[in-house]
Amino acid sequence: MALRRIAQLGHPVLREPTELVEPSEIGTEAVQRLIDDLIDTMREAQGAGLAANQIYERKRVCVMEVGNNPRYPYKPKIPLTVLINPVITPVGDATFESYEGCLSVPNLRGQVQRFAEVRVQALDRHGEPIDQVVRGISAGTFQHECDHLDGKLFIDHVTDPSTFCTWDNFDRYRRAAFVEHVGRVIALYGS
């Protein structure tokens, strides 16, 4: 198990698009170790996901997992997912509002719009193709992680800066309404 440092806002690595992984590279020790380190570091930091450039590796690889996460107890579960070279395509125009935070943006949350339904095409850690449609809150998580791989952060999507808040003030002033809103999104989209 190797825990890696997580790049913080302002480090250029977070703003550079990552490089595609050659399919022949996926089985190498270097790429497999990168995936294991992403998983270990995400779990240790209690994140819902982590992208390779957040641990200073310029590769188009990200991981996601939501179980019983104390940082996001209202989030629907996502089984451990490894995406290599993901491409996200919106399915339809529907969007929903979400509150996001990020392990690379300390103590800040803000409200963003995300597509409610997206198609995700990628390779898994064995090089097998993934092609699935993800909906609702989980679709937001996939968009957040794939944005990282394009050098984008959730703060780029915040259109109303008055929604920015610390985690404490989120809990104090915004959380109750947001949890209700999440319930409506889950009822509509199933996740």
CB of 110 to Ni ion, least distance (A): 12
Mapping DSSP onto H, E and C, the string for 80-120 reads EEEEEEEEEEECCCCEEEEEEEECCEEEEEEEEEEECEEEE
Name the active-site residue from 65, 100, 117, 145: 145
Rounded-to-integer distance, Cα 174 and Cα 161, Å: 14
Stretch that binds Ni ion, among 23-31, 32-40, 61-69, 95-103 (CB under 5 A): 95-103
CB of 24 to Ni ion, least distance (A): 29
Q: Which is nearer to Ni ion, 6 or 21 (CB)?
A: 6
Q: Which is nearer to Ni ion, 64 or 185 (CB)?
A: 64
Kindly write out the interface string for residues 96-135 of this chain, putting x where it contacts Ni ion by CB under 5 A and - elsewhere. ------x---------------------------------
Q: How far is CA 135 from CA 25, 132, 141, in A?
A: 31, 10, 10
Closest CA to 142 of 91, 181, 70, 178: 91
Query: What strands lie across the sheet with 78-90, from one edge to the other?
Result: 49-51, 61-66, 78-90, 117-123, 129-135
**What are φ and ψ of residue 38, in 5° steps?**
-60, -45
CB of 102 to Ni ion, least distance (A): 3
Q: Which is nearer to Ni ion, 42 or 182 (CB)?
A: 42
| Per rule CB under 5 A, count of chain residues that contact Ni ion | 1
Rounded-to-integer distance, Cα 83 and Cα 81, Å: 6
CB of 126 to Ni ion, least distance (A): 25
Does the annotation mark 44 as catalytic? Answer: no
42 near Ni ion, judged by CB under 5 A:
no
Any idea which residues carry the catalytic annotation? Answer: 145
Q: Which residues bind Ni ion (CB under 5 A)?
A: 102
